[in-house]
Amino acid sequence: MPLYNPEYPMSLRIRLTAFTALAFILGACDSPDSTAPAETNRSALLVASKWKMTAQTVTPGLDMDGSGALITDVFVFMGACQADDITSYTADGKWSTDNGSAKCDPADPQIDLGTWSMNAAKDSITITTTSDHSVEKYKIDSFTATGFKASSTTIDFGDEEAHVARVAFKAL
C-alpha cells in the first residue's frame, strides 16, 4: 500500500506499505480470555483471513502533495489506490500485499512481500519488507474478531519530527 508522491522516495512509500502490512498482522491477536495458547490463536487468526485497511492517519500531518497543506488522514488522501489493497499472511512468518487494480504508482510492484515476527510478550510486532529490507516495529493498540488497530512512532518521514502513524484493518 505504497504512498504516492513523486517528491517522496520509493523507500518512504515502501515503509508505508510495511506499516500497512504490519497492521494486518496485528489483527491476529486474540482476547485475554482465550483458553488456547496465545501463539496458536494469533497464528490461526492471522493466516485464516485476508485483511483490508479501513483507516490510516499520521500525527502531526505531512505535506504529501507539495501544496504546503498538512494531511493527517492518509487513507482518504490516497483514495482508491489504497482502498483496494489486500494483505495475506502465512504460518511460516511471511506476508504479501496485492496492490489491487488501482495502484498508487504504476511503477510499483503488483505484490509487496515481507516477513513478520512478534516479541515474546506478544505486545509488539516487527515487520520486514523484502524489497528494501526495511524493518519496522509496531504496537498493538486494539483487536477484535472483526478488526484491529496498530500504531508506530517514527521520525523517518524526512522532516526529523516524531510522527505517530495509526492504521485500522478489517478481516475479509
Q: Band of the pLDDT at 129, cuts 50, 70, 90?
A: very high
pTM recorded for the entire structure: 0.72
Q: Per the domain annotation, does 43 fall within a domain?
A: yes
pLDDT at position 162: 92
Structural domain contains residue 40: yes
User: What is the per-residue pLDDT for 34?
Assistant: 46
Q: Report the C-alpha gap between 126 and 104 in whole angstroms.
A: 25
Quick one: pLDDT at residue 41?
A: 67
Q: Structural domain tally of the chain?
A: 1
pLDDT of 39 over the 50 cut: no
| Domain CATH for 71 | 2.40.128.280
Angle formed at CA 38 by CA 43 and CA 26, multiple of 5 degrees: 55
| pLDDT of residue 61 exceeding 70 | yes
Query: What b/e string do you get for 1-40 counting C-beta neighbours within 10 Å, with b at 16 or more?
Result: bbbbbeebeeebbbbbbbbbbbbbbbbbbbeeeeeeeeee
Indicate whether 5 belongs to any domain. no
What pLDDT sits at residue 98?
A: 96
Does 95 have pLDDT greater than 50?
A: yes
Residue 127, in any domain of the structure: yes
Does a structural domain hold residue 4? no
What is the torsional sign of CA 23, 27, 33, 35?
negative
The reply to whether 116 falls in a domain is yes
